[in-house]
């Protein structure tokens, strides 16, 4: 934790606040558009992003990010697919809206990075300008949030998406598995990756490092710094 400069900590906090808050908002907004009143009842169809955070999950995100890896959670979006116009596919759209929102944010941060980086080259003054650092982390963190949430283990978005693609009976057993074991399997994957495979970046980085690096290059025009 002591290796992280104050400026870096501020950048991480800003990007995570927007990345996770807008992710949860996207879930709620699409569910609301599909006819589900549940997010609105809980006051979650709002761009007041503080409504989309859960205190303990937020503290975990900040502390673990400063320690070198991020784990935490926002306030899960309240959705009831039974109240949607087309329960199966409207729910699929509401779930995938979260990761797609992070991908869209990464694209916006990428544009900002290109502009701020070009300006910094035109007027070098020593050190990395704050806006360059902010937009750089904006791209990386949102790409990580996008792919991380696609892991098909509960409670992440990926387990709902995979289940919705399965026939009814396998879907039932898949969701039951995730209710009972999925969260523990996810935690074991995360911490096991950090403990046993840290030198190589971990299992998760082995899975997602290549696509994240590829998208980073597309969005920023620069080679990935990892």
Q: Torsion angle, CA of 217/221/225/226, rounded to 10 degrees?
A: 10
Question: Is residue 44 a contact partner of residue 28, using CB atoms and an 8 Å limit?
Answer: yes
Cα separation of 162 and 96, whole Å? 11
Evaluate the CA torsion angle 63, 13, 222, 151 in order and state its sign.
positive
Question: Is residue 186 a contact partner of residue 153, using CB atoms and an 8 Å limit?
Answer: yes
What residues are labeled active site?
24
Q: Which two tokens stand for residue 109?
A: 């941060």
Cα separation of 27 and 21, whole Å? 10
Question: Is residue 179 a contact partner of residue 191, using CB atoms and an 8 Å limit?
Answer: no
- DSSP sequence for 85-132: SSHHHHHHHHHHHHHHHHHHHHHHHHHHHHHHHHHHHHS--SS--HHH
Q: Which of 57, 2, 1, 66 is nearest to 24 (CA)?
A: 57
């Amino acid at each position: 934790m002591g290796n992280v400069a104050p400026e870096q900590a501020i950048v991480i906090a800003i990007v995570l606040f927007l990345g996770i808050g807008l992710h949860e908002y996207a879930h709620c907004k699409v569910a609301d558009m599909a006819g589900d009143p549940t997010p609105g009842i809980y006051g979650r169809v709002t761009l007041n992003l503080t409504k989309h955070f859960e205190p303990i999950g937020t503290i975990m995100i900040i502390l673990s990010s400063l320690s070198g890896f991020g784990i935490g959670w926002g306030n899960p979006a309240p959705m009831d697919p039974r109240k949607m116009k087309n329960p199966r596919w409207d729910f699929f759209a509401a779930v995938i809206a979260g990761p797609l929102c992070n991908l869209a944010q990464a694209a916006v941060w990428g544009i900002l990075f290109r502009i701020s980086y070009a300006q910094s080259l035109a007027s070098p003054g020593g050190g990395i300008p704050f806006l360059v650092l902010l937009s750089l982390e904006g791209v990386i963190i949102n790409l990580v949030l996008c792919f991380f949430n696609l892991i098909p283990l509960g409670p992440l978005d990926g387990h709902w998406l995979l289940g919705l693609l399965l026939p009814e009976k396998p879907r039932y057993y898949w969701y039951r598995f995730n209710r009972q074991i999925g969260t523990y399997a996810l935690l074991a994957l995360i911490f096991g990756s950090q403990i046993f495979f840290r030198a190589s970046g971990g299992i998760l980085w082995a899975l997602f490092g290549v696509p994240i690096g590829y998208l980073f290059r597309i969005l920023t025009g620069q080679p990935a710094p990892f």
